[in-house]
Structure 1
Amino acid sequence: MKLYYPKSHYDKSSRGQLFPLLKPFIKGDDFTDAQRIQVYGVSEKDFEFTDKLEEADLVILTMAWNYYLKTNKENLAVDFVKNCAIFNKKVVAVTVGDFGVKVPSFNNLVLLRSGGYKSKFKVNEYTIPPFIEDPLKKYYDTKKVYLRPYEMKAVVGFCGQANLSRLNAVKEIVKTTLRNLKYHFRISKNEPQQILSTSYLRASVLNVLQNSDAVTTNFILRNKYRAGVTKNKDFHSTTLEFYDNLKNSPYIVCVRGAGNFSIRFYEALAMGRIPVFINTDCSLPLDNTISWKKHVVWVEYNDRHKVAQKVKQFHEALTEDDFIKLQKDNRNLWKSKLTLKGFYKSLIDNNIISLRN
């Protein structure tokens, strides 16, 4: 499959909003393919690009839709999509950040987004995972999963921000409400979010688990995101504690953050762990090819008070061999389908991003 993107749209000063698949390929002339493989896990042999729109099987919008809105260039994106329709070309675009932005609908436009609410997805919208570095390689210099032995009680881990303060919850709710009002009054194009305190939601789920005899908990609770660390975050002691918590806990609580998705969900899978996934009307990547409920403890939002029992039932249904295999399977799932190369290869090879009828 040949891919095309409009090179004139590229803005080096906003590289963070470049379409993710293009980042390994829009580099300096001295950037080698060996470096591309080392840094991004992608080779120039994995994807074929063309400079001619008429030759393309699929077209990529160079920058995230957020970029075109922020720089008052939405008409540039809209005109390009319309022009591609004349040539009967599909265009794949992406939005970035915690909150989705309002994107016009076109019959030939496929939108990839990190968050949002599954029940509100348009026909041709799909979920894109965050592309994280391999934590096993980065922090432990290995690619092998640290396999946790089966224990009678499930060990559930969590390291991060959680706050049962009702005052803090009110502050978060007010902040979300004001943000939503900006959308409704057309001051902002950031899509509205569910009115709730995510740090309180997370804390209440953890509280249920801590007060249950059905599981063993291994929690490190923070009052602030990343414990308030803003410099040298990747190798700060609190980050190492975070990954050690993942390493030492086979089950990991994963609840949405400011946006309706959890990066911890993907970090857990990369470590070969089993997410305890609280479903707040989330959309997960490749959900038409991945049987997600086989890989995670799936807890609906309205059943969050039953989370300990859900984990217990899931755990007790596994044999010792099943438990070990699931850790390996989750690591392999992340590596094969949720990395930069794996995700886009899955989209293209399985024709997932073809427009639905």
Structure 2
Amino acid sequence: MLKFSGGGESPPPVNIWVESKQKFTLKKKMSDQLNKPLEIWIKEDLLLPGVRPAPLLMHLSPPDTNPQLQFWNLLRDKLPEVVKIHRFTDLADAGKIVVTPHFISSYYGLHKEAELNKFRRQVLGSKRTLVTFANCLECQAYPGEILFASATYRDKKEKSIPTPPWIYDLGEKVNMPKPSIPTVGFVGNVEYPSRLNTLILRYIKFSDSMVNWMACNLFVNRNLNLGMRRLIARLVRKKIIKEVRKAKNLQISVIERKGDFFSLPVEERNRQRAEYIENIENNAYILAMRGDDNGCYHLGEVMSAGRIPVFIDTNKSLPELRGMKWEDFCVIVPFSEVHRIGDYVQAFHDKLSDDDFAEACRKSRAAFDQLLPHNFVLSSLEIIAKSTN
């Protein structure tokens, strides 16, 4: 503590008073901002009829009636209190915060990505704040853009905010007692049919180190088209399934599929979906791995069921959790170590008593609840509000 020569306490220097006042002013401004609805602007021309809106606009769509999607209604109920939406056709009429109306993946699916990306650049060029949700699409944030994405990397060049892979809530399944032998399940694509990929694999043999580099590298994945990323997904998934089948200490239940699930007839889709859910119900541990992109929808569904994910880590940045760690309920296996997957699962399993196993399953579901849209998105409003200060 500073002292006068006479022994008394000295007053703080003027610059400390100024700095403190600036911090107080900023905090008050933030508090005032968060105590009233956040005003956001959307461009009319970018609204896609019949397409699910981005999370901040979810209340513009009718409530979900599908039991596995009703968690979105919790966000819908909250949004009118915390955001105020304005529409514009001319960017000059927009306010400080502009939100892309849908997930970026929706525009790519309709081949409207060129129009969208032009608009993103225009918004940022106008010195406005742009907020975008990419979902599991490989997408690089533009400088100054607030991009929420599920396909992310632990890389200094990664500017996206790690976001939960929202898809379905399977509902917490009947509690499973700890099995004597770790039971590991998986149902999903392992092959991605493509004439180009088949031709490449016929003439090129990829080493494990090359596959690991491709799967974990931000630059590679952000610059390859979907067809080439599907080659990576095939190599990654084939390797993982091969190694889990070799693990003698695991009781495995693996169903390998190929092709596009959503192009199947309705009856077959329903059958495969039921088989997928049954596999999760019947196994304590479920494989969760990347696909076309470095995201993993499967991870969220496994957590929703209260099962323990065996997450194959391809340098993915996961969303932050409050009051718990991913390692509390998740077996994390670096892809470079996937040949030791049996050891990783066994070590996790052996350290758990019956009660600890039940607690790990409970934490898996609790983490899913913590990352639901009404919790994650609403807590992100502060990030967005700060961008205008």
Evaluate the alpha carbon distance shift between residue 202 and residue 172 of structure 1 in structure 2; reply closer, same or farther with a 3 A threshold.
farther
TM-superposed deviation, 1:252: 0.5
Residue matched to 2:374: 341
Residue matched to 2:185: 157
Letter in 1 for 2:364: N
Q: Does 1:220 align with 2:263?
A: no
Q: Does 1:304 align with 2:338?
A: yes
Alignment partners' CA distance in 2, 1:170 and 1:271: 36
- Contact 2:148–2:161 (CA<8 Å) still a contact in 1? yes
Letter in 2 for 1:207: K
Alignment partners' CA distance in 2, 1:191 and 1:26: 31
| Cα distance per residue 1:49-100 (max 9 Å; x no partner) | 235799x996534344564962535443333335454xxxx54222245332
Instruction: Give the counterpart of 2:165 among 130, 153, 173.
Output: 130
Residue matched to 1:79: 122
Residue matched to 1:274: 308
Instruction: Give the counterpart of 2:60 among 9, 23, 26.
Output: 26
Alignment partners' CA distance in 2, 1:76 and 1:98: 18
Alignment partners' CA distance in 1, 2:226 and 2:154: 13
Q: Does 1:170 align with 2:201?
A: yes
Residue matched to 2:151: 115
TM-superposed deviation, 1:315: 0.7
Evaluate the alpha carbon distance shift between residue 14 and residue 302 of structure 1 in structure 2; reply closer, same or farther with a 3 A threshold.
farther
Residue matched to 1:230: 264
TM-superposed deviation, 1:254: 1.1
More helix, by proportion:
2
Q: Does 1:105 align with 2:174?
A: no
- Give the match's secondary structure for 1:41: helix
Evaluate the alpha carbon distance shift between residue 129 and residue 81 of structure 1 in structure 2; reply closer, same or farther with a 3 A threshold.
same
Alignment partners' CA distance in 1, 2:39 and 2:268: 34
- Give the match's secondary structure for 2:165: coil
| Cα distance per residue 1:79-129 (max 9 Å; x no partner) | 3335454xxxx54222245332x44212xx31111214332543x421222
Evaluate the alpha carbon distance shift between residue 97 and residue 252 of structure 1 in structure 2; reply closer, same or farther with a 3 A threshold.
closer
- Contact 1:173–1:197 (CA<8 Å) still a contact in 2? no
Evaluate the alpha carbon distance shift between residue 172 and residue 251 of structure 1 in structure 2; reply closer, same or farther with a 3 A threshold.
farther
TM-superposed deviation, 1:294: 2.0
Evaluate the alpha carbon distance shift between residue 322 and residue 288 of structure 1 in structure 2; reply closer, same or farther with a 3 A threshold.
closer
TM-superposed deviation, 1:241: 0.4
| Cα distance per residue 1:196-246 (max 9 Å; x no partner) | 6322322322222222222111222223353x8523279611110000000
Which runs of 5 or more residues in structure 2 are unaligned?
A: 1-33, 88-92, 206-218
Letter in 1 for 2:56: L
Residue matched to 1:44: 77
Name the count of aligned residue pairs: 322
Instruction: Give the counterpart of 1:286 among 314, 320, 325.
Output: 320
TM-score after normalising by structure 2: 0.69
Q: Alpha carbon RMSD of aligned pairs, Å?
A: 4.1
Q: Does 1:11 align with 2:26?
A: no
- Contact 2:240–2:338 (CA<8 Å) still a contact in 1? yes
Letter in 2 for 1:346: S
- Identify the range of structure 1 (13-22 vs 250-259) with the bigger mean alpha-carbon deviation: 13-22
TM-superposed deviation, 1:299: 0.6
- Give the match's secondary structure for 2:60: coil
| Cα distance per residue 1:131-164 (max 9 Å; x no partner) | 223222xxxxxxx432111122111111122259
Larger Rg: 2
Alignment partners' CA distance in 1, 2:121 and 2:192: 44
TM-superposed deviation, 1:172: 12
Alignment partners' CA distance in 2, 1:159 and 1:81: 42
- Contact 1:172–1:197 (CA<8 Å) still a contact in 2? no
| Cα distance per residue 1:272-303 (max 9 Å; x no partner) | 11111111111222368762222210111110
Alignment partners' CA distance in 1, 2:239 and 2:178: 27
Evaluate the alpha carbon distance shift between residue 288 and residue 110 of structure 1 in structure 2; reply closer, same or farther with a 3 A threshold.
farther
Letter in 1 for 2:121: V
Residue matched to 1:239: 273
- Contact 1:17–1:96 (CA<8 Å) still a contact in 2? no
Alignment partners' CA distance in 2, 1:112 and 1:169: 34
